[in-house]
Structure 1
Amino acid sequence: MTKTSGAEPAPPTLPARTADPRMIAAIVASALFMQNLDSSAVATALPAMARDLAVEPARLGAAITSYLVALTVFIPVSGWVADRFGAKRVFMAAIVVFTLASILCGRATGVAELIAARVLQGVGGAMMVPVARLLLLRQIRKEEMLSAMAWLTMPAMIGPISGPPLGGFLTDAFGWQSVFLINVPIGALGLALVAWKIPAIPPGNPGPPDRIGLFLIGAALALFMFGLETIGRGVVPQGMPQVGLVLGVMFGWAAIRHCRRVKRPALDLSLLKIPTFSQSTLAGTLFRVGAGTSPFLVPMLLQVGFGKSASEAGLVSFATALGALAMKPLARPLLKRFGFRRALIGASLVAAVGVALPAAFTPAWPLPLIFALLALGGLFRSLQFTALNTLAFADVPAARLSAATSFSGTAQQLAPALGVVLATTSLETSAMLAGRHSPGVPDFAMAFLVAAAVVAASAPFFARLAPDAGEAVSGHGVKRVAAE
């Protein structure tokens, strides 16, 4: 057991409530929207960026990789930083860093300059996302958590879907620089609202950071993400992605051994002993991996398979966001009626059908019908994301919220990358087995079916939850208990 010195760490003192939790959720969500929008819009602007910077588009993929690596590496330390310096202060600083880095990205004149700015942007994003959730959780009661999380999860659904059409419009109308510069007014507004409306939480005493654990976790995530983001793209010498994956697994194994031995680890694995946190994080990651293929596959199918324009594909893909919005007022009554266990099992199975549906699409299908079916899929995925993000923290003690948000944030960041890898691997494998040089419509169909199987595979894990899991948050069973 690692020895520590000084007083026993203490959680920050909670402030008296002064604001509506829905308003707090909406304010911190503005920053999350900026981060999610940026992540998806940049991909649309890559060809124009490559032309201006006189490089191959494949090489410029490092602009996305560098951001994801920085984002993933710095998330584990975010909880400790928030406790040490105060969640509100750290959140505001993260918005400033992300916004300034966005300006530097828009002013970049070379690849190295752009990558450096993207790394800085990733540092800001890493502090912004989990600390925003922590800031909200420390301002609300358990019975308010579900409603607040429904507001907070909207950016996670809307940002990646609205990013491609908005990124395409901004790039065509004002140049690729505007994809980054749009963050300036959003960041300024979010910063002002946080400073004005959200109460400050005094810093606590989290104790010294687990430097060895942070290094091992950072190295594992950086190497693993590097391998995932570069494998099969031809942007680095052959064999390097595989080496990165192997080293990432080795560092990850060392990190797990270390975190099990020390008193206050960088990644608190003992949180997995809390059933609601464990199932929400592990089974939720499996669900997110499968569901994370859709934002990548649907626009590709419409453009590559059906010959639609980028703007048409982007607008049709936006249907998922509309479905997510429609679910917002329905999530609370549904979870109160069925409880987390039944809702998660049912929504995962229905969402799997929604992920599989595009496998049946053909160029003869009318776009309005495709739009409607995608909106239905977004409806149930939104319910699942709201339920997962709420249940994960339903039974976590206040003193361990910082560790829980860092753990959950790291898992959630890995899922989209794994989803893209699942999608590309399925496409390439199907095309190779059929003897095609490039993926066709049948290969997209196979990729959607594989992704749907992964989504459905999460249902048995949700079945392990207790029937009364998260009742204090959902309100399910309250009337029954009162009647007894």
Structure 2
Amino acid sequence: MDKLQGKSTIVALIVASAYFMENFDGTVITTALPSIAGSFASSAPAASAGITAYMFAVAIFIPVSGWLADRYGSKTVFRAAIGLFMLASMLCGVSATLAEFTAARALQGMSGAMMLPVGRLIVLRSTSRAEYVRAMSLVTMPGVVGQIMGPLLGGFFASYLTWRWIFFVNLPIGLLGVGLVTWLMDEQAGEVRSRFDWWGACLVGVAVGCLIAGLSMLASSPGISIAALLTVVGSVSGALAVRHLKACPHPLLELRLLAKATFARGASGTFLFRLAASAFGFVLPLLLQIVLGMKPFVAGVLVFSSALGAFVMKGSAPPILRRFGFRSVLLCNGALSALSILVCMGFGLATSLLVIAVALLAGGFARSLQFAALNAVVYADVEPALMSAATSFASMLQPLASAAGIAASALLLRVMSTHGRLSALDMRITLFVIGAIALGAAWPFRAMADMAGAELSGRQPLQRHTEPR
């Protein structure tokens, strides 16, 4: 047992290196965007095409990751994804034009779409159910470190070296990851799906891509005609995709997973909660800087306290879930997470920085615990043959929820703002809506059985079945 647990820990730490690269690159580019734009003689809005291309590629290629892992083996696909991510990072660093940079970022997004779902699949297949929460805490902890370090190192490289080092730092990490995967991981093959669902891939890709692009444009563009058109095209493609996936004998996405109560409730709760968390992450810096008049550095330090709370939580999730179970944690902590957002409505010019920091620290802890529980409970009743399909399905919802949250909050603020200026009342109304959505994300778990996911949380010992003599 100790040997098996040690093996699963090694696998989790290897996957964690990929999570670090993915989360680091997702946050580091924002602070260096002006420098990147300057080197290409372009504007920052134009250079943001690199961010959009990355998100677009991730959204389109995530659904394909499960089929590739089953067809060619999760170790092979994961190693290839890390190698491709390294190549794309190098191409980003040596780009001479904005077009080259955008194309390299799209390639980076495509490889990133393979790394995270397949990495999670490897952890699911390498650990016992009782050890999964602990293993995923190990995996996601470096990801939180990457999110914390990203803005700081991005600013450092752009100010004192060159923004190109943002991408070059991935090379040694990637090389280490490829070597460890080759030497220490075993090949894992799932249910062989020889035929690829091309029609489903096209419909799902168009649906997810158009929805992501349309929602992103709603958040950033004053004109909504093109954004609305993309959103409508994405919605129609999504409806056609659902119709096709139901009838296809070998679908790209397994809709039968929604027949499992824990998966359906976990997926819907995760979507709503991630939507609320993304919206809050978008609104919080605006509240601190525009309404409370803080300097960017002070606001950044306060936002950092929220990330610190998330980091501290990672080691606490397994014992909390083991003690109270998924249902109690998702309901009670879901309410606390919503409360942590609603508390920010009370922030004003007279509120001390210490009070704000403590509130954001506690909120970061609660939201991170909620994500840990949500990301685990969706797999509670999924059989091994459908595990790759489940990781693809669940991972696909994440960029959709994030884009929807940012777009919804930006649109709400734009509608309420007077003459382009945001007031404290506008922020409080928006925070109230976000908090209500976060609270609603806990609603699906009211009907969940008290011992649901008990094997996953370790709340009860695994049942051992013995064959009759």
Scaled by the length of structure 1, the TM-score of the pair is: 0.90
Q: CA deviation at 1:440?
A: 3.9
Following the alignment from structure 1 to structure 2, what is the Cα–Cα distance between the partners of residues 244 and 169? 37
Following the alignment from structure 1 to structure 2, what is the Cα–Cα distance between the partners of residues 82 and 404? 12
Q: CA deviation at 1:316?
A: 2.2
Provide the residue aligned with 1:181 in structure 2.
168
Following the alignment from structure 1 to structure 2, what is the Cα–Cα distance between the partners of residues 40 and 441? 27
Provide the residue aligned with 2:123 in structure 1.
136
Q: 1:461 to 1:69 in 2, by over 3 A?
A: same
User: Deviation per CA, 1:250-304, whole angstroms, max 9, x where unpaired?
Assistant: 1100000000001121111100111111111111110111012233222333333
Provide the residue aligned with 2:314 in structure 1.
328
Provide the residue aligned with 1:10 in structure 2.
none
User: Deviation per CA, 1:340-370, whole angstroms, max 9, x where unpaired?
Assistant: 1111011111001112222222344333332
Following the alignment from structure 2 to structure 1, what is the Cα–Cα distance between the partners of residues 188 and 408? 41
2:198 maps to 1:211:
yes
Following the alignment from structure 1 to structure 2, what is the Cα–Cα distance between the partners of residues 344 and 49? 41
Pairs aligned (count): 462
- Secondary structure of the residue aligned to 2:252 is coil
Provide the residue aligned with 2:47 in structure 1.
60
Aligned-partner residue type, residue 387 of structure 2? L
Greater mean deviation of Cα atoms: 194-203 or 216-225: 194-203
Q: CA deviation at 1:66?
A: 1.0
Q: CA deviation at 1:159?
A: 3.7
Q: 1:257 aligns with which of 243, 254, 261?
A: 243
Following the alignment from structure 1 to structure 2, what is the Cα–Cα distance between the partners of residues 64 and 424? 18
Following the alignment from structure 2 to structure 1, what is the Cα–Cα distance between the partners of residues 369 and 41? 44
Following the alignment from structure 1 to structure 2, what is the Cα–Cα distance between the partners of residues 18 and 354? 36
2:258 maps to 1:277:
no
Q: 1:169 aligns with which of 156, 168, 173?
A: 156
Following the alignment from structure 1 to structure 2, what is the Cα–Cα distance between the partners of residues 266 and 282? 20
Q: 1:447 aligns with which of 426, 430, 445?
A: 430
Aligned-partner residue type, residue 181 of structure 1? F
User: Deviation per CA, 1:418-470, whole angstroms, max 9, x where unpaired?
Assistant: 22112212321221xxx231324443333222211110011211112111210
Provide the residue aligned with 2:178 in structure 1.
191
Following the alignment from structure 2 to structure 1, what is the Cα–Cα distance between the partners of residues 427 and 159? 28
2:449 maps to 1:466:
yes
Unaligned runs of 5+ in 2: 463-469
Q: CA deviation at 1:477?
A: 4.9
Following the alignment from structure 1 to structure 2, what is the Cα–Cα distance between the partners of residues 181 and 363? 42
Greater mean deviation of Cα atoms: 150-159 or 32-41: 150-159
Q: 1:105 to 1:264 in 2, by over 3 A?
A: same
Following the alignment from structure 1 to structure 2, what is the Cα–Cα distance between the partners of residues 334 and 203? 32
- The question of whether the paired residues in 2 share the 8 Å contact of 1:73 and 1:222 is answered with yes
Q: CA deviation at 1:339?
A: 1.2
Q: 1:96 aligns with which of 73, 79, 83?
A: 83
Following the alignment from structure 2 to structure 1, what is the Cα–Cα distance between the partners of residues 26 and 225? 27
Q: 2:353 aligns with which of 342, 364, 367?
A: 367
Q: CA deviation at 1:44?
A: 1.8
User: Deviation per CA, 1:60-112, whole angstroms, max 9, x where unpaired?
Assistant: 22211111110010000101101111111111111111121112112222221
Q: 1:428 aligns with which of 414, 422, 428?
A: 414
Q: CA deviation at 1:305?
A: 3.4
Aligned-partner residue type, residue 76 of structure 1? P
Provide the residue aligned with 2:101 in structure 1.
114
Following the alignment from structure 1 to structure 2, what is the Cα–Cα distance between the partners of residues 46 and 360? 33
Following the alignment from structure 2 to structure 1, what is the Cα–Cα distance between the partners of residues 344 and 397? 27
Q: 1:222 aligns with which of 206, 209, 218?
A: 209
Following the alignment from structure 1 to structure 2, what is the Cα–Cα distance between the partners of residues 203 and 474? 24
Q: 1:336 to 1:320 in 2, by over 3 A?
A: same
Provide the residue aligned with 1:4 in structure 2.
none
Following the alignment from structure 1 to structure 2, what is the Cα–Cα distance between the partners of residues 304 and 166? 25
Q: 1:458 to 1:232 in 2, by over 3 A?
A: closer
- The question of whether the paired residues in 2 share the 8 Å contact of 1:85 and 1:203 is answered with no
Provide the residue aligned with 2:466 in structure 1.
none
Unaligned runs of 5+ in 1: 1-15, 480-484
2:136 maps to 1:154:
no
Q: 1:427 to 1:186 in 2, by over 3 A?
A: farther
The CA RMSD over aligned residues, in Å, is: 2.3
Q: Identity across aligned pairs (percent)?
A: 39
Following the alignment from structure 1 to structure 2, what is the Cα–Cα distance between the partners of residues 90 and 333? 33
Q: 1:404 aligns with which of 359, 365, 390?
A: 390
Following the alignment from structure 1 to structure 2, what is the Cα–Cα distance between the partners of residues 267 and 217? 9
Aligned-partner residue type, residue 147 of structure 1? R
- Secondary structure of the residue aligned to 2:9 is helix
- The question of whether the paired residues in 2 share the 8 Å contact of 1:210 and 1:266 is answered with yes
Greater mean deviation of Cα atoms: 297-306 or 44-53: 297-306
Following the alignment from structure 1 to structure 2, what is the Cα–Cα distance between the partners of residues 22 and 325? 18
2:73 maps to 1:73:
no
Provide the residue aligned with 2:10 in structure 1.
23
Scaled by the length of structure 2, the TM-score of the pair is: 0.92
Q: 1:176 to 1:305 in 2, by over 3 A?
A: farther
Q: 1:195 to 1:306 in 2, by over 3 A?
A: farther
- The question of whether the paired residues in 2 share the 8 Å contact of 1:28 and 1:132 is answered with yes
